[in-house]
Amino acid sequence: MGLSDELKAGVAATWENVVTHPFVNEMADGSLERSTFDIYFDQDYLFLKDWAILLALATAKAPDFDAARELVGFLHLGLGGEEGLFQEAFRERGLSREQVKALEYLPTTLNYSGYLRTQAYEGTFVEVVATLLAVEWPYLDWAVRAEAAGKKPGNHYYQTWIDLHTSPGMSGFVAWLQSVVDGSDPTPEQREKLQGIFRDVLRYEYQFFDMAYRGESWPE
């Protein structure tokens, strides 16, 4: 078992709660309320900005050009695929550019995004890669499960969300992130820090789905 699998095993219960959350289950079978998805989608659009910072600073910390190319390639894939889908959905909903710019972070998104920024600026290259792996790998997992179960939600956005996260670009990038983590040789203290990153990210991922599914707002 490689280090990445050990880190995943260390958060097994939370991981399973994330990849089987009612939000993703209902999205996969098409029963998810569109209004619930729109909350998630708006917040994920805001989150994408901080995700881009994480990838950009991982690129800046990359030890060689091969690693930098992997990271830049996935950043390009995300901004081309996901961001394009966001703009399509915003146009369909009749949101103006000003309304999109005025979208506000909900508490969970703000906390999660702040965590990513801290990791991006303060983490070592391997720590930033581990953060990316903990973010992307559960998405690949639930999407692959949905596809393997033959789920066809019928909603264009739900299906595209599954397709984006089962694409060769996604699976290939996750495999590359695993190889970087597996090839590192952390001290016990460094390994504990990597496990903490997996723990924190998976907790945030669960809260992110919950935020949209159950509702969340700032206090008055």
Rounded CA-CA distance 145/151 in Å is 9
- Torsion (CA) 178, 61, 164, 107 in degrees, nearest 10: 100
Q: How far apart are the first and last CA of the chain?
A: 49
pTM: 0.95
Take residue 74 and report the two structure tokens written for it. Answer: 């996935």
Q: Are 213 and 108 in contact (CB under 8 A)?
A: no
| Structural domains for the chain | 3-214 (1.20.910.10)
What is the pLDDT tens value at each position of the chain, 220 positions in all? 799 999 999 999 999 999 999 999 999 999 999 999 999 999 999 999 999 999 999 999 999 999 999 999 999 888 877 778 888 889 999 999 999 999 999 999 999 999 999 999 999 999 999 999 999 999 999 999 999 999 999 999 999 999 999 999 999 999 999 999 999 999 999 999 999 999 999 999 999 999 999 999 999 8
Mark out the alpha helices in the chain (DSSP H runs): 3-9, 12-19, 22-29, 34-61, 65-92, 97-101, 107-122, 125-148, 156-165, 168-183, 188-214
The Cα–Cα gap between 198 and 160 comes to 27
Distances in Å between the Cα of 41 and the Cα atoms of 14, 47, 119, 158, 186 are 22, 10, 23, 11, 36
Q: Are the CB atoms for 108 and 217 separated by under 8 Å?
A: no
**Cα 16 from Cα 142, distance rounded (Å):** 9
| C-alpha dihedral sign at 117, 123, 124, 128 | negative
